Amino acid sequence: MQTDKTILQSYINNFQFLERGLKKQSNDPIHDLRKTAFNHLLEKGFPTKREEEWRFTDISPIIQESFILAEENNIKEFKQSDIIQLMFKDWAGPLLVFINGNYAEHLSDINTAQAGLTIDTMLS
């Protein structure tokens, strides 16, 4: 069983990893929001049932789960067979696949001849 300090440290490590990989997106307004939320977590810690807004919410399953940030190179591990069950039956239209915010070109099926069409990662 992990302690609260160990769990919080894993979140700190992940946030630092995220910031190192952001490059120019570190100035985006969405990242300012992330930093504000993360600083709130560092100051207040995880919410508990003793807090009015959280009294009916048990977040222990979330806290006990180990999360890591997705890396773009991990998407190559996925195969068409991994996503086939998630697709609409007999789908004939364009298929855009994103895994943890990263565009998986090898799993997507779209006509890229469209002028002005740009597909990129949603992860930033």
Tell me the pLDDT tens digit for each residue of 10-58.
Answer: 889 989 888 887 776 777 788 889 999 999 999 998 888 999 999 999 9
Unique residue bearing structure tokens 């190559």: 76
Report the 10 Å Cβ neighbour count for 102: 19
Per-residue confidence (pLDDT) for residue 55, from 0 to 100: 93
Which residue has 């630092």 as its token pair? 16
Q: Is the pLDDT of residue 103 over 80?
A: yes
Give the per-residue pLDDT at 77.
Answer: 87
pTM of the complete model beyond 0.85? no
Contact 70, 100 (CB under 8 A): yes
Question: Mind listing the pLDDT tens digit for each residue in 84-99?
Answer: 888 888 888 888 888 8
Give pLDDT tens digits for 53-78: 999 999 988 888 887 776 666 788 89
